[in-house]
Amino acid sequence: MSVAIHRAGWRFDNSYTRLPEPLFSRERPTAVSDPALVVVNAPLAAELGLDPDLLRDEGAGVFGGNEIPPGAEPIAQAYAGHQFGHFTNLGDGRAILLGEQIAPDGRRADLHLKGAGRTRYSRGGDGRAALGPMLREVVVSEGMHALGIPTTRGLAVATTGEEVLRATPLPGAVLTRVAASHLRVGTFQFARAVGETPVLEALLRHAIARHDPDLASSGEPAVAFLDAVVERQAALVARWMLVGFVHGVMNTDNMAVSGETIDYGPCAFLDAYDPTTVFSSIDQQGRYAYANQPMIAHWNLARLAESLLPLVHADEDAAIEAVRGVLDTFPARFERHYLAGGRAKLGLATAEDGDRDLFAGLLKWMHDHAADFTAMFAGLAARAATHDGDAPAVAAGGGASAAGADAFAAWRTTWRARLSREPGGHAEAVARMRRVNPVVIPRNHRVEEALVAAEAGDMEPFRRLLDAVRDPFAETAANEPYRAGAPAGCGRYRTFCGT
């Protein structure tokens, strides 16, 4: 390792390695033949106390997995998960946790190499990742971050100089993922399945120390922790719904107790609004469709609750009753976050009883007329600003029918009347809408275009897209090409778990 990279600002602690042995395995990344950096996230590096220039110049060895930075103690984490409803023992089959970087502000962040080679949890897999999906994770997660939605982020992507064999040979890559932690619902399921209460207890203590230190002195830490996770997930999934995000593979191993969005596989944003939208080619039953996400989150949280039962009460019935009391709050909490966000999207700062119906009425119109989700709300802000009366153009082909236009006009009249009761007035309502309704999201056709170019060796479209999604609320000349919906006739977008 070069001497310089030692000085990049690494400051590791490895608290996970102090947990009981069955929760992880000491492993090292498998070296790759020709690591080369294609992405370094300079703003994120700076937040973590790492020198972006040094990383860019000298970091290929570390981010490709050939060199271990000073202070890191690499491991693979064990976890389990319900995948499409079926329980399986898993673990990091192609990822290595380098350790926890302590940022200058004291924040502790996991640095995790995804695609770093086989581990004892790899089962039949090759332990590797392809460049396209790793870049996709970077651009979509940066977009989510810019939208203010809690998420893991990409610090770097290194190509490996090796091919990975999927349906066809693809360029291999390693993503360095930064997360508040990689504690998943499935980590608790694994600890529960181990069958030793001290292991589960140690994991809970660790999770509380990392995410909910205020609960350390709680008389009922397991119930209090569950409550905190339920609240974070209710808020998170509401945020997804309000920007049209479809996670695509909400298995319990892909749900983080930190409340960050994690595991960007077949995820995508809605184009035309349709609640039944499924993008993933492997989600045949539509289990993880857009509209199902709150219900699935609730289901996953029930799996977390079950895992915690031995720590809740020695008597199982009493334990079940205690966690049920918490789980049952999920729908109302989700609804509260969702409605608050829906109000903001419509420009409302105050609450009235009819607001839910007002929001639902617009969504119904959007569904009936295949309106582009993002453009619709961005357009509403513009319309409120100009008092312009037209029904917005819709994705499906340049304008609603006459009946559609009338239906929109009727909705708009109700909305305008409601806006007129806002004490802050019109200008404030417009400003509020512009703060929450993005004009740029990582559009599916743009993401695809950038990844195809990157696979052919041209990173420019990816860089331009990344710049655009990092500034989602401002209409600028530069982001004009990234605001438009999918060109007509592209058909429904499909993602492949393509990993």
Which amino acid does the sequence have at 295?
M
Task: Find, among 218, 197, 198, 195, the residue nearest to 208 by Cα.
Answer: 218
Smallest separation (angstroms) from ligand AMP to the CB of 181: 16
Which range touches ligand AMP (CB under 6 A), out of 85-93, 273-281, 296-304, 455-463?
Answer: 85-93
Q: Name the catalytic one among 92, 227, 253, 263.
A: 253
Tell me how far apart the alpha carbons of residues 282 and 11 are, in angstroms, rounded to a whole number: 40
Which range touches ligand AMP (CB under 6 A), out of 54-62, 86-94, 175-183, 229-237?
Answer: 86-94
Yes or no: say if 215 and 221 are a contact pair by the CB < 8 Å rule. Answer: yes
Name which of 79 and 273 has its Cβ closer to ligand AMP.
79
Tell me how far apart the alpha carbons of residues 74 and 99 are, in angstroms, rounded to a whole number: 6
Token output for 78: 């064990």
Binding status of residue 162 toward ligand AMP by CB under 6 A: no
- Work out which of 25, 122, 218, 414 binds ligand AMP, going by CB under 6 A: 122
Total residues binding ligand AMP (CB under 6 A) = 16
Token output for 316: 């199982």
Tell me how far apart the alpha carbons of residues 436 and 106 are, in angstroms, rounded to a whole number: 29
Binding status of residue 125 toward ligand AMP by CB under 6 A: yes
Tell me how far apart the alpha carbons of residues 95 and 253 are, in angstroms, rounded to a whole number: 14
Binding status of residue 126 toward ligand AMP by CB under 6 A: yes
Binding status of residue 92 toward ligand AMP by CB under 6 A: yes
E strands in 204-276: 245-246, 268-269
Smallest separation (angstroms) from Mg ion to the CB of 76: 13
Smallest separation (angstroms) from ligand AMP to the CB of 36: 21
Smallest separation (angstroms) from ligand AMP to the CB of 95: 6
Token output for 173: 């890559």
Smallest separation (angstroms) from Mg ion to the CB of 205: 24
Yes or no: say if 344 and 436 are a contact pair by the CB < 8 Å rule. Answer: yes
Alpha carbon of residue 281 to chain centroid: 19
Yes or no: say if 435 and 424 are a contact pair by the CB < 8 Å rule. Answer: no
Binding status of residue 499 toward Mg ion by CB under 5 A: no
Token output for 422: 């806002």
- The contact mask relative to ligand AMP for 302-341 (x = CB under 6 A, - = no) is ----------------------------------------
Tell me how far apart the alpha carbons of residues 215 and 227 are, in angstroms, rounded to a whole number: 11
Binding status of residue 110 toward Mg ion by CB under 5 A: no
Degrees to nearest 5, angle at CA 202 with 197 and 205: 125
DSSP annotation string for 358-422:
HHHHHHHHHHHTT-BHHHHHHHHHHHHHHT--PPPP-TTTSS--HHHHHHHHHHHHHHHHHHHT-
Residues 6+ apart with CB under 8 A from 170: 130, 131, 132, 163, 164, 455
Within residues 252-291, the interface with Mg ion by CB under 5 A covers 254, 263
* Catalytic annotation present for 214: no
> In the complex, which residue's CB is closest to Mg ion?
263
Within residues 250-269, the interface with ligand AMP by CB under 6 A covers 254, 263, 265
Task: Find, among 95, 89, 90, the residue nearest to 76 by Cα.
Answer: 95
Name which of 186 and 472 has its Cβ closer to ligand AMP.
186
Within residues 201-240, the interface with Mg ion by CB under 5 A covers none
Smallest separation (angstroms) from Mg ion to the CB of 254: 5
Which range touches ligand AMP (CB under 6 A), out of 119-127, 223-231, 296-304, 385-393?
Answer: 119-127
Alpha carbon of residue 61 to chain centroid: 27
Total residues binding Mg ion (CB under 5 A) = 2
Within residues 127-146, the interface with ligand AMP by CB under 6 A covers 127-128
Alpha carbon of residue 232 to chain centroid: 13
Tell me how far apart the alpha carbons of residues 385 and 198 are, in angstroms, rounded to a whole number: 59
Name which of 258 and 374 has its Cβ closer to ligand AMP.
258
- The contact mask relative to ligand AMP for 94-113 (x = CB under 6 A, - = no) is xx------------------
Task: Give the CB-side neighbour count of residue 12, counting CA atoms within 13 A.
Answer: 20
The option from ligand AMP, Mg ion, none interacting with 220 (CB < 5 to 8 A, set by class) reads: none
Name which of 255 and 322 has its Cβ closer to ligand AMP.
255
Name which of 113 and 226 has its Cβ closer to ligand AMP.
113
> In the complex, which residue's CB is closest to ligand AMP?
125
Yes or no: say if 253 and 303 are a contact pair by the CB < 8 Å rule. Answer: no
Which range touches Mg ion (CB under 5 A), out of 172-180, 194-202, 248-256, 429-437?
Answer: 248-256
Please list the residues that pair with 170 across neighbouring strands. Answer: 164
**Active-site residue list:** 253
Q: Which residues bind Mg ion (CB under 5 A)?
A: 254, 263
Q: Which residues bind ligand AMP (CB under 6 A)?
A: 90-95, 122, 125-128, 254, 263, 265, 497, 499
